[in-house]
Amino acid sequence: MNPNFQGLEKIPRHVAIIMDGNGRWAKERGLSRIEGHKEGAQSVRAILRAAAKSGVEFITVYAFSTENWKRPALEVDGLMALLVSSLNAYEQELHDNKICLRVMGQLERLPLFARKRIQKAMDATAHYTDHTFIIALSYGSRMEIADATRKIAEKVKKGEIQTKEINEQMISDHLYLPDVPNPELMIRTSGELRLSNFLLWQLSYSEFYITDTYWPDFREEQFFQALEAFNSRDRRYGGVNKK
C-alpha cells in the first residue's frame, strides 16, 4: 500500500502518540523487552518520515514517563542507552527532513551522558521550522501542571500578578512548551484505553485514535489510517454541527 496523504482534506497540525506494546511485541516473539524497544525506535523513524510526507507539523511521542523510573534498572539503563544510540544513528534524518528536536519533562533525572547527547541534537536542529519532533521524556502531565501552578504562585507571591488574573491561558503559558499548539489527534497503540498521565491539559479537545497494533508494527500505513480516521471526524469543540 502506498498511502495517499494528499487525498486527505484535513491534516492535524499536531499529533501526539502513546507508543505502547513494545514489551508485549517482544514477549510474543521470545525476545527481550529491550529488543521490543529497539524495534519501536524503527517505528519512530518511520512515523517521522510519514509526518513530513503528510504535512503534520508537530509529532509528540511519550517515550518515558515519570512512572517508568520504577521499572527494573536494567531496562531503564537499556532505554537510556537506546535513546543515545538512536540519536547517533538517526540525527542526520532530522537534518535531511528539517525537523527540530525538542524534549519536555524532568530532564535533570536523566543520566548526564543522555542529557548531553539530547542537548547536542536539540542545539543542532533548533533552527528548523518546517517540522518539530517532541520527545516526552521523564514526563508526567500532573507534574507539569503542578510545576506551572508553582510558577504562577511564585509570581503572585512577588506581586507580579494578582490571583484574579489567573485563567486558562495563563496556565497554558506556564506549561513546559507553551509555544506548541495543542494536539488535534492523539494515537495510542496496543489497544489500551487510558491517557497514562500524558498531556492531560493539552488533550482536552483532541480526537483519540486507538489501535490494537503494537507500536513496533505501527508504520506509515497505520499512521495513514489514523489520519484517515481524523479526516472523517466532525470537530465541533462543544458547539453544534451546522450542516
> Residue 65's beta-bridge partner residues?
139
Active site residue 20: yes
Burial (CB count within 10 angstroms: exposed 0-12, middle 13-18, buried 19+), residue 112:
exposed
Q: Is 2 inside any structural domain?
A: no
Active site residue 167: no
Q: Is 74 inside any structural domain?
A: yes
Q: What is the pTM of this model?
A: 0.93
Distance CA 15, CA 141 (A): 17
Q: Is 67 inside any structural domain?
A: yes
Domain interval for residue 129? 11-147+181-232
| CATH number of the domain encompassing residue 227 | 3.40.1180.10
pLDDT in tens, 76-125: 999 999 999 999 998 999 999 999 999 999 999 999 999 999 999 999 99
pLDDT in tens, 157-215: 999 999 999 999 999 999 999 999 999 999 999 999 999 999 999 999 999 999 999 99
Q: Is 166 inside any structural domain?
A: no
Helix or strand or coil: residue 88?
helix
Closest CA to 179 of 11, 4, 49, 58: 58
Q: Is 90 inside any structural domain?
A: yes
Q: How many domains does the chain have?
A: 1
Q: Is 241 inside any structural domain?
A: no
CA distances from 89 to 9, 20, 93, 121 (A): 34, 22, 9, 12
For cell 484535513, the residue is 10
**H-assigned helices in 97-177:** 112-125, 141-157, 168-173
Q: Is 141 inside any structural domain?
A: yes
- Of residues 2, 4, 20, 147, which has the active-site annotation? 20
- Of residues 68, 97, 197, 231, which has the active-site annotation? 68
Q: Is 158 inside any structural domain?
A: no
